[in-house]
Structure 1
Amino acid sequence: MSDIKVDGFKSSTTLAALAAVLDEYNDEEKKAQIKKTNGIFELRVKNAEGKEVVWTIDLKSKGSVYKGQAKSKPNVTLIMSDDTLQQLAEGKMDGQKAFITGKLKTKGNMMFATKLDGVLKAAKTRAKL
């Protein structure tokens, strides 16, 4: 899963860890997470140098994380900085606060975006990040 990591993006380590957690799930756990989430997140993340990377968390069919645009239409596209994603993943920032303060922008189903927090928390607990 090292193809997920991108130099200059701290949050890529978190996303690689999430991918590893999803890969470790047995079929039953993966099906439960897919059923619970039932959607696709596309993350557009910019670092301090202004470079952008796109990652996709597919919890609609595959239960995977990969670098690149969503292969099918995402439920929501989240646009944020590398620091914001890292703070969300670490639980140092609330998604609603990030949205209200303009640090997080969404395209698509804004209510679905609230499920990302649960996905990140489940992965953090399992991976002991």
Structure 2
Amino acid sequence: MSDLKVPGFKASELIASMGSTFSGLSDKERQEQIKKTNGIMELQVTNAQKETATWTIDLKKTGTVYKGKATPKADVTIILSDDTLTQLANGSLNGQKAFMTGKLKTKGNIMLATKLEGVLKTTKAKL
């Protein structure tokens, strides 16, 4: 899933492993994950050089991760830094705390954004 990687982003590795984790799920596991999350999350990640990369996690229909803007429209857009996403993934930062301190911003369904942490944990558990 190297097509998910964007040079200059630490989170790139995380997203690529998330993509391969999802593609490695059985149909039953994928359907369970879709049922549990039921939404499309668009991640807009900014790195230290102020460049922005966009990835989409579709857990509404396909159970896939892809690079670029969400099609159809995302249920929630999560805007955060490369470091913040990495910290959320490794568990050193709590999603709620990131939101409250302004490190994570959302547009759309904020309740869906709270499920990002669960998606990251599922990816970590499968690795």
TM-score (norm 1): 0.97
Distance 2:37 2:105 in 1: 20
Deviation by residue 1:56-84 (Cα, 9 ceiling, x = unmatched): 00000000000000011111100010000
Deviation by residue 1:1-55 (Cα, 9 ceiling, x = unmatched): 1111111100010010011000000111111111111100000000000000000
Q: Do residues 85 (structure 1) and 85 (structure 2) align?
A: yes
RMSD between aligned residues: 0.6
Q: Do residues 121 (structure 1) and 117 (structure 2) align?
A: no
For the residue of structure 1 that corresponds to 2:58, the secondary structure is strand
Aligned length: 127
Distance 1:98 1:119 in 2: 16
Match of 1:44? Answer: 44
**Residues 1-129 of structure 1 correspond to what in structure 2 (within 5 A)?**
1-127=1-127
Q: Which runs of 5+ in 2 are unaligned?
A: none
> Post-superposition, which runs of at least 4 consecutive aligned residues in structure 1 deviate over 4 A?
none
Q: Give me the identity figure in percent.
A: 58
Distance 1:31 1:9 in 2: 30
TM-score (norm 2): 0.98
